[in-house]
Chain A
Amino acid sequence: MPGPQQRGPRRPLSVRGPRPAARTGGNSRVRIAVGRILLIGALLIAGVKLVQVQGIQADELADQAKKQRTTRLNIPAERGSILDRNGNQLAFSIEVRALYILPQRARKTWDEARAKEPEKYPLSYDDHMREVAKFISSTLGPEVNGEKTDEESVYQQLVKDISYEVLVSEAEPAKAAKIVEKYPAEIGSEYRSKRIYPNGDLASNIIGAANWRQDEKPPTVQGILGLESAQDNVLAGRMGRRVVDTMSGDDTLIIPNTERELVKPQPGKSLELTIDIDTQYAVQRMVTDYAKKSGAKNASAVVLDSRTGEIVAMANDKTYDPTDFGKANEDQLRNGAVSSSFEPGSVNKIVTAAAAVEYGLFKPDDVLQVPGSLKVADRVIRDAWTHNTVPMSFTGVFAKSSNVGTLLAAQEVGKERYAEMLQKFGLGRRTQSGVPAEEAGVVPPLNQWSGSTFGNLPIGQGLSMTLLQMTGMYQAIANDGVRIPPRLIRAEIGEEGARSEKPRPEGVRVVSKETAKTVRDMFRSVTQSDPRDPNQNGTGAKAAMPGYQIAGKTGTAQQIDPTCKCYSQSQYWITFAGILPADNPRYVVGIMLDAPHGTQFSASAAPLFHDIATFLTQRFQVPMSAEQTPFVQLQM
């Protein structure tokens, strides 16, 4: 390579040639060497830096890198179903998809793409969205579960000036997939789960409601009311989790082979209830009808299996649609059979009867001289009908529901033994039945009794109980003196049908078997009717069923008048509790009507018992009693 010319006029001609040449060559060699050193040196410096990055700092930087890619994905756990005793579904979950769009972003992307390649995107964003709306509407139909999906309303959503818009929240997965496949750039689809209640408002007061909660973290179906809420932990199961690496900016695009820390989802367990769906339906309908007929503010009925204490049906006249519980009012949401307590009235007389028989104080055919009134402390108690002192059989005292006669018997029993009996019957405490929102009722403790308390409790005033507790008392008598706390949940069904039965609660011996039978037999007379002598009529003659012995008790309790804080003379709790059939008990039915008035059905719940019992005998093919209820002389 030629270099700067070196002139050497003093040098001899012979040496002039080689010297500059050597110099040029030398210069060129040096420059090439310098070039080499610079280039290779630069690469070496990069190499040194690489050693630092890939060796020394590698772990620290790699950790940061891993963090930014990691996405935790929740694998939704399937929520358990709620089944009746025969495996019919009362509530179950299905998978659905929410379709959404990011309208602002979609518009921006579309306009940019269109500006770049106008021939590929001939339509404007709005026109394009018309097409999209048309496709969505034709795929989904005009409406999905109350959400409008006709072309115009979808179009309006698509072109909204908003960052995020859910088009449909409960689309079928197959249809959603079809839409997303056609318009992947615009429409997104999201997993949702939907709770289905195939029977509508049937038993909704018990089952409650669950729905998709988008605000939960992570979003999931959550029980809001009733069993769905109370048993949420069992039903919900546990979400699975996996950790994956995902593409930057798109957490749904998983980089292959990066799945790790896999935790399988644990599907929720299904609950098998003791409810029989058909009975529940019939009872619910009858209760609703009767509440209307009788003009009652509220009405409830409970059907227990007398041998197991299982709740076969529990109905209220007011229910709600679980898929739209937001519209329901307080009364509809309440399960009156367990969450409202009331004074039971004469139904409570069974405590006195059982105690008196248990302690051998009276036999059914003992005759009592019942005066027209009885003074207890500062109160004078009368019967529902005016009479002078009349001789009544012990059975007759209860069949005719004589307050005075009952109190006479109670006084024989004594306060302590009576209080103890109340406790044995399970009053004043929750039954632990598993029905959500259960009340305990109020029984004044013995040491707080005033003088008149013992004049009130035996006739069912001054204490309160729920309908379930009331029915439970009769279950004890029906089940030969052993009270089995009522229950609602029979079994939990886990994965692959693994069924784990809930242990049957421990029975409580209330009275002896003989006492129970005696009391049952005595209470049969409540349904007795004698067309020749009205004095021999029981109070619940309308509950009687041909072919079956029915033991039961009517009740009428005065409600508290909120204006005077005294017992009202116009508003009553009308109750009834009955055993079907009395000679071989299978079912116990409890009924409560809250303040019925104004109709011929307002005075008694016995006709409703009759209807329910009739249904039960047919539904469960209850064999007829071997003999008719024998006639008993009630009033001498």
Chain B
Amino acid sequence: MTVVADKPKSKRKVRPAGRVASLRGGMTAWLSRPLADFHLLLAIFGMLTVLGLVMVLSASAPGQVASGVSAYSVFQKQLIYVCIGSVLFWLVLRFPLRRLRHLSTAAMGIGVLLLALVLTPLGDVRGGARSWFTVGPISFQPIEAVKLALALWGAHVLVTKRALLSQYRHLLVPVVPVAMLVFALVMLQPDLGGTITLGVVLISLLWFVGAPMRLFGVIAGGAVAGAVVLAIGAAYRLQRVTTFLNPDADPLGAGLQARQAMFALAEGGLFGKGLAQGSSQWRYLPNVESDFIFAVIGEELGFVGCALVLALFGGLAWVGLRVAARNTDPWIRIVSATLTVWLVAQAAINIGYVVRLLPVTGITLPMISSGGTSVVTTMVVFGILANCARHEPDAVAALRSLGPGRVGGLLKLPAPEAYRPPPKRKPVRPSTPPRAPGRRTQQLPVVDERRMAGRSAPPSEYRRRETRRVNQGRSEQGRSTRGRGRYN
């Protein structure tokens, strides 16, 4: 789906096939615009952020007042973290993905180190898990950063070794052993929710890198066995499972949360009771502003609100994987797909246990649940996803030829680099697409020039370069037409 390829399609929209057809045509046309994914991601990101802040305020105020502190104390904290996250989001959006990829190895190393350190007395115990670092007024969980690091580094390693991935040895080492080390460190905290999210990240890495189906069969078997072992291994986890299987056995003890969540959802009905009108936050539902915030959404905004949240995460799944599909850089493809799966799977698991489809695990609802590190990390992830969206070839072309656009201009975003396949690839891998030689020779000067201009090149650079790239654009157009269907 490249710009040029879709243009004729959108022009054909004036068919007299009725309003639905024209609407669909309009949608298709809008969606096929080069920066559609970027803008959709920004919209989803913004809506989730606002919804999260509103719901955290609504869900936390009564409990805070009852404890004798300001009604806004949790909300204020959340607001501060969202501000930090927004700044990081913007920085990540500006950050060249190539450098991010290069930093990923170091990040993974630091992450593992932090995970090990948090188990020492340097880490703080909260809620029964030694998973926090506290430095002055701020505290954070290294696990959140490690999830991201694993996604970036894992993608980096697998993409780098992609020629050798047909051999299990190269497919699994070093990603799987490192991931297992991380799992072990996280389970020592212990943090089941974190482990599950890490597992999702690892599996989606392997999935999108094209690991054989057989491997997933093994992983599924291993996961079931692991789940059984873990469930039986700790009393509280076993209790969660038995509670899930028989929710009404202990309505005031183990089954309390699940039961109260059901109540909250049911009371919301179709349209909900209205913001701040819910009653589960009056200490009926423990952890209401973090793990179970979806129940409050259900109570105050009703099915409509829940459907909106589901739609936003569904939209994220669709857009995020579309970014992966539309990108050419294999690292970006895997990273964007993995990050999308991470966020959406986390949301699905959270919502799943709130609506009692899954046993309760302490996995938060991304962007909405209160919780500092989680929200900051999620915002960084959104930043990377949005950055990836800007690296779609169409977007790169459009940004480079037409300028940064309204949003990009407002955020002062630099133009993204086009993907340049590694030069070594051709001799080693005979399977490289035949178009590669042509592209390489033509793209090289572009990147070099881009490097010379530097990241802080003035916006006028786009225009200057425009003339220079007339030939290149033409050749690209021709190539895309030829190779249409390969990447759409």
Contact = CB atoms under 8 A, between A and B. Distances in A.
A22 to B, nearest CB: 7
Contacts of B345: 39, 42
B92 interface: no
Contact of A17 (B282, B333, B434): B434
B330 A245 contact: no
A247 B162 CA distance: 58
B95 interface: no
Interface stretch (B42-50, B264-272, B376-384, B410-418): B264-272
Contacts of B237: none
B61 to A, nearest CB: 11
Nearest to A6: B431
Contact of B210 (A31, A62, A64, A65): A31
Contacts of B307: 47, 50
Contact of B303 (A24, A44, A51, A257): A51
A18 B284 CA distance: 61
> Which secondary structure characterizes the binding site on chain A?
helix
A46 B348 contact: yes
Contact of A46 (B163, B165, B210, B352): B352
B307 to A, nearest CB: 7
Given A45-B357, A53-B355, A247-B282, A2 B209 contact: yes
A3 B211 CA distance: 7
A36 interface: yes
B314 interface: yes
Interface string B475-488: 00000000000110
A628 interface: no
Interface stretch (A248-256, A532-540, A585-593): A248-256
A161 B205 CA distance: 59
Given A3-B210, A16-B430, A47-B310, A53 B266 contact: yes
Interface in A12-41: 13, 16-18, 20-22, 24-25, 27-29, 31-32, 35-36, 39-40
A524 to B, nearest CB: 80
B83 to A, nearest CB: 27
Given A1-B333, A49-B356, A61-B262, A36 B284 contact: no
Interface string B341-384: 10011011001100111000000000000000000000000000
A4 interface: yes
Contact of B270 (A1, A45, A55, A248): A55
Nearest to A27: B210
A257 to B, nearest CB: 8
Contact of A184 (B68, B267, B268, B325): B68
Given A2-B165, A4-B166, A32-B337, A53 B262 contact: yes
Interface residues of B, number: 64
A64 B347 CA distance: 28
Interface in A234-280: 245-250, 253, 255, 257-258
A54 B266 contact: yes
Given A50-B303, A255-B279, A39 B344 contact: yes
Given A39-B317, A39-B344, A40-B314, A54 B207 contact: no
B302 A54 contact: yes
Nearest to B341: A35
Contacts of A58: 266-267, 269
A69 interface: yes
B434 A18 contact: yes
Contact of A21 (B66, B68, B333, B486): B486
B303 A5 contact: no
B318 interface: yes
Contact of A4 (B165, B303, B310, B341): B165
Contacts of B262: 53, 61
B284 A69 contact: yes
A16 B434 CA distance: 10
A35 B270 contact: no
A446 interface: no
Contacts, number: 184
Interface in B302-316: 302-303, 306-307, 310, 313-314
Contacts of A258: 279
A69 B282 CA distance: 9
A599 interface: no
B473 interface: no
A57 interface: yes
A54 B431 contact: no
Interface residues of A, number: 59
Contact of B314 (A22, A43, A59): A43
Contacts of B356: 49, 53
A68 interface: yes
B330 A2 contact: yes
Contacts of A57: 266
B18 interface: no
A39 B434 CA distance: 34
A62 B267 contact: yes
Nearest to A54: B303
B396 interface: no
Given A17-B434, A45-B357, A69-B279, A2 B163 contact: yes
Contact of B283 (A6, A31, A247): A247
Given A1-B334, A4-B165, A43-B313, A32 B306 contact: no
Given A49-B357, A55-B270, A65-B264, A21 B210 contact: no
Contacts of B298: 50, 53-54
B267 A65 contact: yes
B4 to A, nearest CB: 19
A154 to B, nearest CB: 24
B72 interface: no
Given A32-B325, A50-B298, A61-B267, A1 B208 contact: yes
A55 B341 CA distance: 29
B128 interface: no
A222 to B, nearest CB: 34
B432 interface: yes
Contacts of A42: 344-345, 348, 352
B433 interface: yes
B284 A68 contact: yes
B62 A255 contact: yes
A17 B318 contact: no
Nearest to B65: A253
Nearest to A19: B431
A6 B348 CA distance: 36
Contacts of A62: 263, 266-267, 269
Interface string A151-178: 0000000000000000000000000000
B321 interface: yes
A58 B208 CA distance: 40
A1 B431 contact: no
Contacts of B204: 35
A19 B408 CA distance: 38
A40 B320 CA distance: 12
Contact of A245 (B68, B270, B279): B279
B334 to A, nearest CB: 7
Contacts of A59: 266
Contacts of B93: none
B325 A29 contact: yes
Given A46-B348, A184-B68, A35 B263 contact: no
30 contacts: A1-B209, A1-B334, A4-B212, A5-B166, A21-B431, A24-B210, A35-B208, A35-B317, A35-B321, A35-B340, A39-B317, A39-B340, A40-B314, A44-B314, A47-B307, A50-B303, A50-B310, A53-B262, A53-B356, A54-B303, A62-B263, A65-B264, A65-B279, A66-B267, A245-B279, A248-B282, A248-B283, A250-B66, A250-B283, A255-B62
Given A4-B210, A54-B303, A65-B267, 17 more contacts: A16-B431, A18-B433, A25-B487, A39-B340, A39-B341, A42-B348, A42-B352, A44-B310, A46-B355, A54-B268, A55-B303, A61-B262, A61-B267, A62-B266, A65-B260, A65-B266, A249-B283
Q: Which 6 A-B pairs have the closest CB atoms?
A: A61-B266, A65-B263, A3-B210, A2-B162, A39-B317, A42-B348
